[in-house]
Structure 1
């Protein structure tokens, strides 16, 4: 037996002997633990609203909002089935509420966003204040705040739920509590938080009501769309993003939530974007219009043709190119604030 064979047998015996002591040799897994580039198990995916909506309506017949607590169909990444995750750090789902229903009040340590996809006339209440829901509105549920939803609409209302559930699960820091009341008591008029903090002004004496989360919990679409339209007319269009803005916490200038960043962008008619990649995998909701996204990774390529109310995910470090002949508006969210806080975020714009 030669020396290499002896070395191999010695190692194998070492591994067997130390295994009952819960020890593992780093050198056997080092390259997987510290890869030369991000190697996410997530894959690109596209959910066409025309295909998803019938299942939402069937869910409305199968279970009430009160029974379900939250009647949601989870958008699971095809490579993460059973994990209730769209990326390794983010959760996404489509929630349905029908006329006259109430999704009962509860609170949890997970931060949540709501992006309204279909219908008007429903409301969400957060910490004693209600806001009406309209398509394109971005609404926040800060960590550990009471929240419930209800509908006075004539038809179904659907919104995208985005939460940091997988991230909180990673830290083993998840707590939740159900309210004794079906719906919380409203103590402030609708629009109060926006009046206090949404006009580039703030109360002279105040404390941040939700800690690191924005004191504005409802960002109306009409204001976001107005800003995008103005910039498309009067400012240069970015070759990668079109016209893209990030939502901000007016007290800090940072992201609205400590764990999730949110964005709205408009691709002008005829836009043919250049490629980019970033370490924060992003979830997209198509607000208006049509377009396409080409996603490349590891020698593979996928192209999704998207339309209004569709959803798609671009995983970490996948090269993406956006295009739109007719023009479109996209909402998106990612875990960028956490990556920036840890100084690990990276982005490349490719020529």
Structure 2
């Protein structure tokens, strides 16, 4: 086998001639393209709700929901400033709607989810059906479904928004459209979707109005919590996952959304999970309880409504100081469909 005899100077001169032709030598870039293991650009981080809430409420005094269209403070990962990303692929923010306000109806190709943090009287309407938003509820806005929000209560309402915006932006497939009125027409009674699809029964020849997204767009916290507690009384907590149940599409049993996986973990008081890591970057919100969360080399004492991110392939674990219920979402479902998702347990 012949051995190349070129000097560093000769190679550099060759590379310099490639650049004007929009060419590059793969052998110089291969290690960066294919590292020994995944390395996320995002950083572990925690937003204390007690710090964020005053700023969220102040935004309610600066502009109306109509002016903002969506009055949201974006949760920006400190390693990804200015990119509107909580993880490398997931957007997250905290949305506020004041009493009597309406966030105008629109639709867009990115899928969205909501996790209700505080307040009473808020509602969201999706595809002609409205649902009341209660603390801990997981609410879905499917891709390209008209939706609006309102607050008919007497106190501010706030929730965690999650969107697959970075994924959609990568595919350059982002579109939006405004409805022809501030609120969409309500054509089905509240609770219709849950009645048809959320009681372990399905209509004959069941299909979803929203394509690959579940036909249920509100998964009430009271049901989720009860299921987790009952499951804990059965087999007990898993050493790595504690007690975890995923939100599912009742038609096919898969994840509730095609691009964003969502689940809730119950960590009983005093229980500590063993470290686990996976290729999906995870956004987590503590709906109830108090938990010490370890993400990589960071340790966060999380109180109720605090939000944290675990970048992909970063070790994570929980130790519950109280019975704790942690809502999580990530791009796991998209990775699974592409055959990319991996997990490692200590």
TM-score clears 0.5: yes
TM-score normalised according to structure 2 size: 0.97
**In the alignment, is residue 323 of structure 1 matched against residue 304 of structure 2?**
no
User: SS of the counterpart of 1:272?
Assistant: coil
> For 1:229-240, what aligned pairs fall within 5 Å after superposition?
229-240=229-240
Structure 1 residues 331-340 or 11-20, which shifts more? 11-20
Aligned to 1:246: 246
Deviation at 1:232, TM superposition (A): 1.9
> For 1:98-113, what aligned pairs fall within 5 Å after superposition?
98-113=98-113
2:308 to 292, 306, 312: 312
How far does the alpha carbon of each residue in 1:188-210 deviate from its partner, in whole angstroms, 9 at most, with x for none? Answer: 00000011111111111343211
Asked if 1 retains the 8 angstrom alpha-carbon contact of 2:292 and 2:321, the reply is no
> For 1:283-322, what aligned pairs fall within 5 Å after superposition?
283-296=283-296, 301-322=297-318
Structure 1 segments of 4+ aligned residues over 3 angstroms from their partners: 3-6
Q: Distance in 2 between matches of 1:5 and 1:79?
A: 42
Structure 2: 5+ residue runs without aligned partners?
A: none
Aligned to 2:207: 207
Deviation at 1:5, TM superposition (A): 9.2
Aligned to 2:56: 56
> For 1:206-285, what aligned pairs fall within 5 Å after superposition?
206-285=206-285
User: SS of the counterpart of 2:60?
Assistant: helix
Q: Distance in 1 between matches of 2:32 and 2:103?
A: 43
Q: How many residues are paired up?
A: 344
Aligned to 1:26: 26
Deviation at 1:6, TM superposition (A): 5.0
Deviation at 1:4, TM superposition (A): 9.3
Aligned to 1:343: 339
**In the alignment, is residue 151 of structure 1 matched against residue 151 of structure 2?**
yes
Asked if 1 retains the 8 angstrom alpha-carbon contact of 2:207 and 2:251, the reply is no
Aligned to 1:168: 168
Q: Distance in 2 between matches of 1:252 and 1:234?
A: 25
Q: Distance in 2 between matches of 1:56 and 1:48?
A: 12
User: SS of the counterpart of 2:7?
Assistant: helix
Asked if 1 retains the 8 angstrom alpha-carbon contact of 2:280 and 2:312, the reply is yes
Asked if 1 retains the 8 angstrom alpha-carbon contact of 2:111 and 2:163, the reply is yes
Aligned to 2:119: 119
**In the alignment, is residue 187 of structure 1 matched against residue 183 of structure 2?**
no
Deviation at 1:236, TM superposition (A): 1.9
Deviation at 1:325, TM superposition (A): 2.3
How far does the alpha carbon of each residue in 1:145-173 deviate from its partner, in whole angstroms, 9 at most, with x for none? Answer: 00000001111100000000000000001
Q: Distance in 2 between matches of 1:207 and 1:223?
A: 23
How far does the alpha carbon of each residue in 1:72-128 deviate from its partner, in whole angstroms, 9 at most, with x for none? Answer: 000111000111011111100000000000000000000000110011211000000
